[in-house]
Amino acid sequence: MASSFLSKALFWPRWFWRQLTSMRNALLLLLLLAIAAVPGSVYPQRSADPNGVRVFYDNQPELAAVLDSLQLFDVYTSVWFSAIYILLFVSLVGCVLPRTKIHFRALLAKPVTTPQNLKRMPEHSEATGGPELVERAFQVLKKRGFRVEKQNNSVSAEKGYLKETGNLLFHYALVAVLIAIGLGGGYSFSGQRVLVEGDTFVNNLASYDSFSPGPLFSPGSLEPFRMTLDEFDVLYDLANRNNIGNPIDFVATVSTEIDGQASTTDIRVNYPLEAAGANVYLTGNGFAPVITVTDGQGDISFSGPVVFLPQDSNMTSLGVIKTPDSLPEQLGLIAFFYPTAEKLTTGAYTSIYPDPISPLMTMNVYTGDLGLDSGIPRNVFALDTTNMELVAGRNGPAPAIELEVGQSAELPNGLGQVRFDGLLRFASLDIAHNPGGIWVLLFALIALGSLALSLMVPRRRIWVRSNADGTIEFAALSKRDDPNLNAVLEDVVAEITAEEDK
């Protein structure tokens, strides 16, 4: 009574499980996964291109909101994408576990009983010969790595268990890859830091400009190391006329102190610095002009290198200087830097080469309220000019300030003085660590190897039987399509019968 109730209650779960773990379902889930991955290449993704999402929101706010509610900006962490791959993996495990049990039994089992009618096999041939050939067949097949068993007047042989082993291992390795991705991502972190030549980075949370840890990351796991950017060099192509000005190498020379060991190394694109518990990658660079601003009372209100953001391939760069402590009024400077300046007919400047051959800086000067006192965080790379007045610049009351390296200029209205002290470069660095990476690689390689085994090793059965009428039969069967089966059997037959001729 109880058991029949139980079996009734379990009918639908069992049915569902059977459906889920069927091959057809695995196939459908795979196709669904492929389709579900497509939108992530069409719409910008927060993980890969957060700026693209922002731009999308600016251009089409209504559509963006709809897409966002469908998680189309976070496709690969979305509920629906996750649901598909989790179901796929559940289905995979449900399919592979029972197959593993069967395969283990098959590994321990003896070869099958020789079938009654060997003529029905896909490959079959006959010869004349006595029972001694069966004995020889046993030796020949054994030497060829078959698992062989003598059965009365016949030999049954089987080979290619590695095929199923490879197939199962491949699927388990995929599960391991997924787990390694998940755990590795959890303990991973990546952070960004901009270093001007001469700056030092010390690996602790406060030193990062931005930092994104995985959910399982703990700040205590950051290992201490120091790194000073001594020099940043860009190598330009000078040898090839059509490519002049194309960068061919970026080299950040750094002094490091890792585990108490001091040394000097280069960081280049594709060649990160391997520091303690993290790698340091070179991701960008630009100019950092050193600027000193003296206010109307003769006090220095700003002095130091300013990171300028590159605007084009010839490194026209844009920087912003804010001096909230200037007297009598706060100053804001929007500065353009041209490494190799050329004057256009309009009077504006442009850079015609990315290396500083004739560097020039132009500045627009604003006075008024910088908006820094309200406590709202402000972008250091942008100047909010709503409460400010343009006092010098193109279209301003006084012309824009133009400075070469080493020059200084008076600001209008007795606001002070600005000086272009020198030119440094900066490097944008990513400091990142993912402890899962090496495991993902390991399991991916196991998957690759076992995939090759599973797809390329044939599973074959061969039977040899001597009949009472003085004939001997040979037959072969393969688990899948096997164009070489015929050749293999012929080869085996030739070897067995050839030995008899000796």
Partner 1 sequence: MTEIVLNEALSEVSLLVVSAALAFLALSLVLFSFQLVKLNSDENLDNSEFSQVEKIGFVMLWISTIVLGVGVVLRGIAAGRVPWANMYEFSISGAFLILLVYLTALKIKDLRFIATFIAGFALITLFAAVSLFYVEVQTIMPALQSYWLVIHVVVAIMATGFFSVAAGLHLFYLLKASGKAERLFARFPDLKQLERVAYRFNVVGFVLWSFTLIAGAIWAERAWHRYWGWDTKEVWTFIIWVLYAGYLHAMATRGWNGKRAAWLGLIAFLSVIFNFTIVNLFFKGLHVYSGL
Residues that bind partner 1 (CB under 8 A): 23-24, 26-27, 30-31, 33-34, 37-38, 40-41, 44-45, 47-49, 52, 75-76, 181, 190, 235, 237-240, 242-243, 246-250, 268-272, 279, 281, 283, 430, 432, 434, 437, 440-441, 444-445, 447-448, 451-452, 455-456, 481, 483
Q: Which residue is listed with tokens 């009598």?
A: 328
Distance CA 454, CA 163 (A): 4
Which CB sits closer to partner 1, 34 or 66? 34
Nearest distance in Å: CB 247, partner 1 = 6
Which CB sits closer to partner 1, 249 or 342? 249
Nearest distance in Å: CB 34, partner 1 = 4
Which CB sits closer to partner 1, 44 or 160? 44
Closest CA to 138 of 114, 109, 163, 108: 114
Distance CA 144, CA 419 (A): 85
Nearest distance in Å: CB 197, partner 1 = 19
Nearest distance in Å: CB 483, partner 1 = 7
Number of H helices and E strands in the chain, helices first, is: 11, 24
Which CB sits closer to partner 1, 52 or 186? 52
Which CB sits closer to partner 1, 398 or 456? 456
Distance CA 355, CA 245 (A): 8
Give bridge partners of residue 232 from the DSSP assignment: 252
Distance CA 164, CA 458 (A): 10
CB 163 within 8 A of CB 453: yes
Nearest distance in Å: CB 294, partner 1 = 40
Nearest distance in Å: CB 313, partner 1 = 11
CB 326 within 8 A of CB 294: no
Residue 32's SS3 state is: helix
Question: Which tokens hold the place of 246?
Answer: 């194309």
Nearest distance in Å: CB 237, partner 1 = 5
Distance CA 302, CA 324 (A): 9
Which CB sits closer to partner 1, 180 or 418? 180
Which CB sits closer to partner 1, 377 or 483? 483
Give bridge partners of residue 303 from the DSSP assignment: 292
CB 257 within 8 A of CB 225: yes
